[in-house]
Amino acid sequence: MEGCDGEHDYQPPCPNNVVDASKAVWDALGVASGEQGDLKVTWSFV
C-alpha cells in the first residue's frame, strides 16, 4: 500500500483491491456517472 505523498496525490493508502480512476477513465470504460464508485472488476491479460 502506498499513498500520502506527492507522487500519490496525498491520498491515504488503499487496500490492494482498490483502483482509483478519474472521470475520463470512467467515461472511457462506458460507466455511467450514477454507477461510478464501488464496482466489481475482473482483470484479464490479452
- In what helix (H) or strand (E) does residue 28 lie, and over which residues does it extend? helix 23-28
Residue 29 covered by a domain: yes
Q: Measure the CA angle with vertex 39, ends 33 and 16; round to 5°.
A: 125
Residue 45 belongs to domain spanning: 18-46
Residue 38 covered by a domain: yes
Q: Which of 15, 38, 17 is nearest to 26 (CA)?
A: 38
Global pTM value: 0.48
Q: Into how many domains does the chain fold?
A: 1
The CA distance from 32 to 45, in Å, is: 25
The CA distance from 25 to 27, in Å, is: 5
The CA distance from 13 to 33, in Å, is: 24
Instruction: Categorize the per-residue pLDDT at 1 as very low, low, confident or very high, splitting at 50, 70 and 90.
Output: low
pLDDT tens digit sequence for 5-14: 777 777 777 6
pLDDT tens digit sequence for 9-46: 777 776 777 777 888 988 998 989 888 878 888 888 88
